[in-house]
Amino acid sequence: MALTPYCTRAQVAVVLSEVGVDNRVPNDANRDTVIDAMIERATAKINNYCFTRYETSVLATSEWVTWCCVTLVIHYLNKRRNNPGVGAVAEDVDDYLEELRQIKAGTMDIAGLATRYDTSPSVGNYVVDRRYKRSIVRRVEKISTGGPQVDGLKQHTTQDDVGRAI
């Protein structure tokens, strides 16, 4: 496997049972290869949603990520044989995919995991330009770590630097 897997064959068998795995994957020399491929596919899917916010080494320590991966593996094993999704598993897949979308959008965090970067708002590297009556705060592009000002946000200019109304 090229990726660090987020679950194991044994964890898939715990949820699906050995008989369930046998029904989805023939018991031949390629069995482990097929299951490993499905684990890698599920891991890649999770990385697609979470990689920008979390390190893979951090994701590998999460129980939530493990069970998300197990559920996706079972889903992919079902799809491999054109079996319909099992009721509870299909619902779990929908729930996990919705939560993964929220994680990618930044509206949800995985509990207990540190993100790649600090998500708290901050202000740094600003200079008050005293040449102007209203003392406009300007961001210095060369040393600023932030991006351009977000559309729709305007700086507060109803008072000058002493607090008098303009």
Tens-digit pLDDT profile for the chain (166 aa)? 467 899 999 999 998 888 888 888 877 768 888 999 999 999 999 999 998 889 999 999 999 999 999 999 999 988 887 777 677 888 899 999 999 999 999 889 898 888 887 666 666 666 666 676 676 666 666 666 555 555 444 444 444 555 555 4
Q: What is the pTM of this model?
A: 0.68
Nearest Cα residue to 109 out of 66, 64, 43: 64
Q: How many CA atoms lie within 13 A of 37 on its CB side?
A: 9
Terminal alpha carbon distance of the chain: 65
